[in-house]
Amino acid sequence: MAVDTLGLPHAIYVSTANVTDRTGALEAFSTKAASLTMLSNVIADSGYTGEDLADKVKELLNSSVTIVKRSEQHKFVVLPKRWSVERAFAWLEKCRRLWKK
């Protein structure tokens, strides 16, 4: 799920479990590229690290990729902008009909 800094969703891609997060992100971006024209920077966690992803995002959306990494492994610290996606998932999980069968 790609959200803005307020946590509002702009691109969602549902895939099978054998699709990696990086591949899923690229699929979401390519599917919604027409509506993401104003995007200038993609902020992601360390699971999206790599030149290949950054190059493809630059090609698809003409935007850069910034990776936000944790400073210490065993200490909880709220990192800037990284909590937006987690909050969006929490909002979705609050609506039981979206995730219970």
Query: Higher-confidence residue: 30 or 82?
Result: 30
For the chain, the domain total comes to: 1
Query: Higher-confidence residue: 59 or 79?
Result: 59
User: Would you call 94 helix, strand, or coil by DSSP?
Assistant: helix
Phi and psi torsions of 27, nearest 5°:
-65, -45
pTM metric for this prediction: 0.72
Summary mean pLDDT of the chain: 81
Which residues form the domain of 80?
Answer: 2-99
Q: What is the pLDDT of residue 39?
A: 86
Closest CA to 71 of 98, 46, 50: 46
CA distance 32 to 34: 6
Lowest mean pLDDT among 5-9, 88-92, 97-101: 97-101
